[in-house]
Structure 1
Amino acid sequence: MRFPFTTFIVSLLLLPFQTNASTEPEHVHTKLQELESPEESQQDWGTLLVETFDVSVSKSDFLGDYSNDYVFTLNGSYNLNDKWRLFGSVDSDKFGDIGLGYSFLLFDQIYNEVSASVGGNTDKTGVYTTGLFSAAQLGDAIVFTNFDVQYIDSRFEGEGWDIRDESFNLNKLVGVLYPVNDVLELSASYGHDSNLYGKAQLNLDELPCSRPICTNRNTTDADSYINLGFTLNLWGVKPYLSHRFDLNDSNRNYWDFSLSFDY
């Protein structure tokens, strides 16, 4: 059985990459060269991704950290044209973000999307992310990668003091997706998130001088994990269930569930 490559792109981009999204991130046997032309295939991808949204439930918050409570997230995507895509999300932790993506083909066979987003929550935390998502066919499977550079600016305030915490993170993901048939798709991915740089600044109103107390956190903090999951394609409704295995702390293992809609 063969499937159009465009169907894969739609389903793959809806995967919750750790991403944000936890994240996350984002099904065919057809080879890329079987499409009529690179230009037409890119137009098809854009057309199918015009109107999609999904609802997810996870024990990962908007920063990708483990949460004791379940976090509900609504994600949406809308293509402005065949190259530019507008996307965003809101969740039950009162976090929201909005971003813009630009897609292109490399060597007429590798689908790519460069994206940038800005987000924040009501607790004075700002998140700025830029990334590159790529996908290509390898035999009957699809391999994909996702690289994100993320700047996080958090502020904490109390009576007579405030703290500003800044960090730069590099998040890397590589995975494979295999369509068993037109209903079932299996996926597996490996992720590695690392903190490149951090700085905490403490300001005290009682200090006689205005100079803040600053601490640079040049650490090598990193987290590695494996995601195993499957997607069902039920007449445009796509439930996705996966389990994240934290390779550093098994107490941080959890299930992810999302329900995607294409219309």
Structure 2
Amino acid sequence: MSFLTRGEMQFLKVAKFLGILQGFTYAILSLICIILYIKKDISFDVDSYMDTVSYYMYELFLSSRDYEIKLFKSQTMIPATFAIFAWIHFIFNLLWLGFSLNMSQQNHLKIAQKAKNWAVITLVVCLLDFITVVVLGADYGKCLDATKKSYISTNRIAMQQICANGFLPPLVIAAKGFTLWVVNLILAKKMFNWSKELRQRQGTGQVLVQPSVPVGFLTPQPQPVVPNAYVTQPQNVNRNQFEYPNVHIPEPDYHYQQNVQPHGRKY
């Protein structure tokens, strides 16, 4: 068995982080839209440009009065339709958040299935974002076409401001700035292909997720074996305990020492 590589572990962390961040953020935004739609007759104090944008967005998409306000006749994203989209976004972003949190449990043998689930829910969210952007973009184009029918230049300019401030902000938010939407699409495709590769490796028994080591826990490391330069010689136990390599130690000649006689001192 082989562990997941460091690159694969980093890939899982990036996908998990983006899924948790975006799933939580857009679930909260969708819930806010649902609450504003259910709550009627909200008043606005228009004191700044952001207040103006908020007012236009509320009147176009969130106002739930007994009568519908349409900026032009063929407006598709009316408040009731927008509320349905908000519910769908809320549900699928919660699922995305849940699957992303589930990816953090790395010590299991079902990592391939969980990677596939994450890829599928991410693709569904990307598709939902794409449909929302297309509908809002179509309404924005219709809104601009409706301004051309006004013969009074003042009304035309005011209508163009309403179209830009009312439709473009939710369009950009739904597209996740466009760049992040493309990143999600690429990650989902790579995650789906990676899940297939993991299934093949699991089929041959070559996948094992490496367990994380707690911080501060010392993992014993194998020490190199150093050969002993001194080799024990059993035949020399009573004489020399060890035989030194490349060094000759002569044995004492006890018979020679006994035959040597002291010489007399000569004067």
Shorter-chain TM-score category? under 0.3
| TM-score for both structures, normalised by structure 1 | 0.21
Higher relative contact order (CA 8 A, sep 6+): 2
Larger helix proportion of the pair: 2
Larger strand proportion of the pair: 1
